[in-house]
Structure 1
Amino acid sequence: MLPDRKMCASRTRPPHRSGFDPLPVVIIGNGPSGICLSYLLSGYIPYFRRDSIHPHPILQRKLEEAPGVSILDQSIEGSMVTLSRGEWMGLPDLPFKDWLKQKRRGLRNNRATAEDIAQYYQHYVMKKGLQKNFKCGTVVTSVRKVSAENVSNHEQKGLQVNSDSLWNFNEKSAEVFQVDGFFKTVRGDKEPFSLYAESVVLATGTYDSPTWLGVKGENLSYIHHQLSALEEAVKNNCIGITSDPVLIVGAGLTAADAILFAHHCNIPVIHVFRRRVSDPGLIFNQLPKMMYPEYHKVHQMMKEQTAACAGPYECYVSLPEHHVLSFGKDKKCIFQDKNGCQKVYKISMALVLTGSNPNLSFLPNNGIDLAMDNGQPVNPKRNPIDVDPFTYECTQEKGLYALGPLAGDNFVRFVQGGALAVASSLLKKANKNPP
C-alpha cells in the first residue's frame, strides 16, 4: 500500500541534498491497521467532538483541554490504544453496524461472517477514496536500509549494502528504506519493482502461517486452520443441525468467534483446549465484561457446559485441560485429559484455531532482531515487535513502524489508536524543518 503525497501537502519537508526524493512512507499490508493509517495520511484529520463522552475519564479531560486542536497534534500520554470504543470491527467514520444495516442485516440475529468483514474493509477503501493508495497483487520480498547517496549516484541500480550489520549503515550518510518485490500480472507473470521510502510501516498481521498441532492425521481433508472453512461449509450446506459435532481446538478469540458462529447456526460443537477455564492467562479472564459481552458468553459456556457437567447450552460440550492425540480417516478424534484418560468422538470437521505466526521473511533475519526478545521469532502474543508506545516506531530501527498484532494489538478496535500514533509521528517528522 502506497499512501499518496497528501501527507506532505501542508507539511513540507526539504528535499534531499542529492536530489533523490523517496516516498514519505510505504505501508506493507492491506488489513484494518494499514487501511486506518492510510485513511489518516490521506487528509482525514481527527478532532475531538465536544458532545462526545469517552469512557476513560483521564483521556476525556485531556481531550477537552484542546478541543480545537487535531488529535494528531496532541500528546495523548499512555492512552493511544483507548481512543476508540467503537464496535469491535469498525474503522473511523463508518461504523460496522451501520454498514451491515445497509445490507439489511444485523449482528444480533445474523452474526457477521469473515466474508462480511472483508467486504466491509473493501467498501471502506472505496467509500473513503483510498483505492489509489493500494497496490493490489503486490508481494514484498525485501525491506532493507540503503544509503540515499548510493541510490542517487548509481541511478537506483547496483546498491551498496553494508554487510557488517543487518540494519544499520554509516550514520554520516542519509539512509532510506529500499522495498523490493513483484507485482502479479493478469497473465500470472511476476513484474519486479524497487521502491524507496523514508519510513516503512509493517501492518501485515499474523495470519500468514496458522499454528498446527503436529498430531497424526492433521493433514486430512476435514481438518482446517481457518474460521472461513466453517463459514464455507455452512454456506454450502455441508454441515447443519443434524451433523456430527464440529471440533474447535483452541481458547483464543478466533476460537470464540467460531463457537459463536456455530452457536447461531445451531451446529453442535465440541470445544477442546489445554488450559483451565479459570487460568488467568486465558484471554477471557482479561477482557472487561461490559465491553466484550459475546466473548464472556463463550467463557460462561466453557465453564458451565463441560462433558462431566451438563449445562444450559445445547449443542455445545467443553473439554478443558484436554488435548488432541490424533485424527482418524473415519473422522474419529482421540482426546486425552490431564490425567491421561482418553475419549473418542465422531466429528464432521475440525477447526484447529490455536494461533498463527506472521511471515516476516522479507525482513533481515525474519524480523527477529526487532522483537521484544530478539532471540526468539516474532509472536503477536508472546513476543511482539518492540515499539515505542507513543509512536509505534520500532525501538531497534528508526523509521520502521509496526502496527496491529505485530505490535501486540490483537483487537481491531485497538488498531485505530496505533494508526493515530504512527500518523502523528510521521506528520511531525515531515514538518520538523519547515521552509
Structure 2
Amino acid sequence: MLPDGKMYPLVTRPPNKGGLKTLPVVIIGNGPSGICLSYLLSGYTPYFKRHSLHPHPILQRKLEEAPEVSVLDQDLEYLSEGLEGRSHNPVALLFDTLQRPDTDFGGTAESVLTWWHEPDRAIPHLVLGRNAPGGAWHSIEGSMITLSRGEWMGLPDLPFKEWLKQKRRGLRNNRATAEDIAQYYQHYVMKKGLQKNFRCGTVVTSVRKVSAESISNHTQKDLQEGSGSLWNSNEKSTEVFQVDGFFKTVEGDTEPFSIYAENVVLATGTYDNPTWLGVKGENLSYVHHQLSALEEAVKNNSVGIMSDPVLIVGAGLTAADAILFAHHCNIPVIHVFRRRVTDPGLIFNQLPKMMYPEYHKVHQMMKEQTAACAGPYEHYISFPEHHVLSFGKDKKCILQDKNGCQKAYKISMALVLTGSNPNLSFLPNDGIDLAVDSDQPVNPKRNPIDVDPFTYECTQEKGLYALGPLAGDNFVRFVQGGALAAASSLLKKANKNPP
C-alpha cells in the first residue's frame, strides 16, 4: 500500500461477500488538469467577488445577476457566450478570464472570483499518477523556461507569482523554469490539503465498463442503498468502470490494484509517446526521441565540441530547446525540418520577439545559417524543407530535399523532436473510438477526444470525461476551464448543487 493510502485503499481483489464500494470519481493523471479538478471536487467553490469589476461589460452584467450562486452552479454556456480568446473551448475562456481578467492585454487586474471551502459539497475521488503531483512537469529538464508567462501557470486561489516571492525569487522575462512549476504543483496539493486524494507511483493498464452485478452479487444493492454512492437513485446505471493497474511500493516492487468508479476522468496529457518518423534505422541506439538523451550525452561526455554533429529533427519548441542547449555546450548541430522558414504555421512566426528572445535567436539561425548560405553562427547548419530518409548503422543519415536531391551526413547522435501523442493503451482500441474522427488516433491538435464543450463528458461514452490536451486544451491556463466544466457536471450528477 502506498504511504498515503489511508483514505481510499486501492482494492486488490473483489471481496467474496458484498460491501465493495464504488468511488464516484477516479481521475487518471495528476498534472495541472487533475490537480485543479481535485481542488474543485474537494468542496472549494468559486463565487463572483462582490463589488469587483470585470473589463468585459456583458460578462460583468451576467455575473451580477446571481452573485450568491456559485459559478459551478450557474449555466456555463450562458456565461461563456460571446467570449473570445486563445482557446476554442468556451468554458476554458470563461474560467481564464474570471481568474485573469485582462491578462492578454498585458493587464494585471485581480481575479473577480472569491473561493469558499464548503466541505459538504465534496465528492470522494482518487487521483492516480505515475509521478509526484505535477505530472509531466517532473520529466522536463528543470532549467527549461516555460513558453507561457509564469502567472499563466498558476492554479486557482494560489497565484504562482506569490509562491515564487515566498522563495525570494522573481520571474525571468515574466516566465518560469520547469523546476519551479513542478515544485509549485506539489506545494499546491499540500497547501490545499488535497494529498489524501492522490496516489502517486500508479500505472493504469486498463479501463473498461463492467456490469455491476458481475463484481459481486451484492454490489448493485450496495450502490443503490447508500453505501457511500452519491448518485440519485433514478440515475443509477447497472454499469461501472473497472480501473486496473499496478503501483510501485517503497521497496520497488509492484502490486496490482482494481478500483470501481461511477465516473472516470482522463487527464493524462500527451507527453508519453514521442512521435516517430517511421524511417529505416530509426530504432538504432544513437537515434533518440527525447531531449533528455542529449542532456545525458553531455553529462557522460559522449558528445562535445569535437564530436560529429548532433542531428536535430523538428521545428517546434522542443527542437529549439535542444538547439539552444547544444549551442550553449558548443556542440555542432545539423537541423532538419520540413517547413519553409517563413511558413506562418511555424511557431516562431507566432511568438513576440521581445517576450521570447531565445526562440527568436533560433529562428534567426534557421534563416541565416543554411547549408546553401553560410552565416554568422558557428557549429550550426539548418536544412529547411528537408526530411530524413534513413539512419545507417555507421551513424550516417541520408537527408532529402523537396526536389528529391539526397545528401549523406555522419552524425554522433540524432534527436527526433517532432511532437508527442497521448498513450491511451489502457482504453479499448487505444481510445480511437472516442476521438472526433474515430478512424484516426487521438491527437491533441488535430484529433482530440470528442467532448461536450460545457461538461467535458465524452460524447461516445457517458461517465467518461477528458481534460487538458486530450480535449484540445494545450495550455495550463486553459485546462482549468475543463476542470470547472467537469466538476459542475459531476456535482449535478451527485446532487451536490444547492437548489
Quote the residue 2:192 is aligned against: 128
Distance 1:325 1:53, change over 3 A: farther
Letter in 2 for 1:334: I
Task: Work out which of the residue numbers 64, 77, 80 in structure 1 matches 2:80.
Answer: 77
Task: Work out which of the residue numbers 398, 405, 412 in structure 1 matches 2:462.
Answer: 398
Instruction: Give the drift of 1:142.
Output: 2.1
Quote the residue 1:31 is aligned against: 31
Task: Work out which of the residue numbers 276, 279, 283 in structure 2 matches 1:212.
Answer: 276
Task: Work out which of the residue numbers 390, 407, 420 in structure 2 matches 1:356.
Answer: 420
TM-score, normalised to structure 2, is 0.68
Contact 2:19/2:218, CA 8 A, preserved across alignment: no
Distance 1:30 1:321, change over 3 A: same
Deviation per residue, 1:396-428 (Å, 9 max, x gap)? 111110011211222233212222221222222
TM-score, normalised to structure 1, is 0.77
Quote the residue 2:292 is aligned against: 228
Quote the residue 1:386 is aligned against: 450
Matched residue SS, 2:477: helix
Quote the residue 1:175 is aligned against: 239
Contact 2:282/2:390, CA 8 A, preserved across alignment: yes
Contact 2:25/2:263, CA 8 A, preserved across alignment: yes
Query: Is 2:250 aligned against 1:250?
Result: no
Structure 1: distance between partners of 2:353 and 2:430: 39
Greater alpha carbon shift after TM alignment, 194-203 vs 77-86: 77-86
Deviation per residue, 1:20-63 (Å, 9 max, x gap)? 75212100112222122222222333345679887877656655
Correspondences of 1:307-346 after superposition (within 5 Å):
307-309=371-373, 316-328=380-392, 331-346=395-410
Greater alpha carbon shift after TM alignment, 379-388 vs 138-147: 138-147
Matched-pair identity in %: 84
Deviation per residue, 1:251-296 (Å, 9 max, x gap)? 23433443455556665543321122344544555x5649974686
Greater alpha carbon shift after TM alignment, 23-32 vs 140-149: 140-149
Distance 1:3 1:206, change over 3 A: farther
Aligned residue pairs: how many?
409
Give unpaired runs (5+ residues) of structure 1: 6-17, 157-170
Instruction: Give the drift of 1:114.
Output: 4.9
Quote the residue 1:12 is aligned against: none
* RMSD, aligned α-carbons: 4.1
Structure 2: distance between partners of 1:365 and 1:32: 26
Matched residue SS, 2:45: coil
Structure 1: distance between partners of 2:180 and 2:418: 23
Matched residue SS, 2:44: coil
Task: Work out which of the residue numbers 236, 249, 254 in structure 2 matches 1:185.
Answer: 249
Letter in 2 for 1:374: S
Structure 2: distance between partners of 1:40 and 1:120: 18
Distance 1:412 1:290, change over 3 A: farther
Structure 1: distance between partners of 2:300 and 2:401: 34
Contact 1:3/1:26, CA 8 A, preserved across alignment: no
Quote the residue 1:13 is aligned against: none
Letter in 2 for 1:30: N
Correspondences of 1:10-49 after superposition (within 5 Å):
21-48=21-48
Letter in 2 for 1:28: I
Quote the residue 2:123 is aligned against: none
Structure 2: distance between partners of 1:265 and 1:93: 40
Deviation per residue, 1:55-87 (Å, 9 max, x gap)? 877656655665565332342325322333563
Greater alpha carbon shift after TM alignment, 75-84 vs 334-343: 75-84
Contact 1:333/1:347, CA 8 A, preserved across alignment: yes
Quote the residue 1:370 is aligned against: 434
Quote the residue 1:9 is aligned against: none
Letter in 2 for 1:25: V
Correspondences of 1:63-74 after superposition (within 5 Å):
63=63, 69-74=69-74
Quote the residue 1:410 is aligned against: 474
Instruction: Give the drift of 1:248.
Output: 2.2
Distance 1:152 1:294, change over 3 A: farther
Correspondences of 1:45-194 after superposition (within 5 Å):
45-48=45-48, 62-63=62-63, 69-74=69-74, 75=76, 76-77=79-80, 79-82=90-93, 83-84=95-96, 87=150, 89-96=153-160, 108=172, 114=178, 117-151=181-215, 153-155=217-219, 173-194=237-258
Query: Is 2:483 aligned against 1:429?
Result: no
Structure 1: distance between partners of 2:210 and 2:194: 29
Greater alpha carbon shift after TM alignment, 173-182 vs 113-122: 113-122
Instruction: Give the drift of 1:394.
Output: 0.3
Greater alpha carbon shift after TM alignment, 184-193 vs 331-340: 184-193
Structure 2: distance between partners of 1:204 and 1:146: 22
Structure 1: distance between partners of 2:177 and 2:368: 26
Structure 2: distance between partners of 1:380 and 1:370: 13
Give unpaired runs (5+ residues) of structure 2: 8-17, 82-89, 97-102, 104-148, 221-234
Contact 2:247/2:256, CA 8 A, preserved across alignment: yes
Structure 1: distance between partners of 2:49 and 2:373: 50
Structure 2: distance between partners of 1:312 and 1:49: 55
Distance 1:28 1:259, change over 3 A: same
Instruction: Give the drift of 1:335.
Output: 1.9
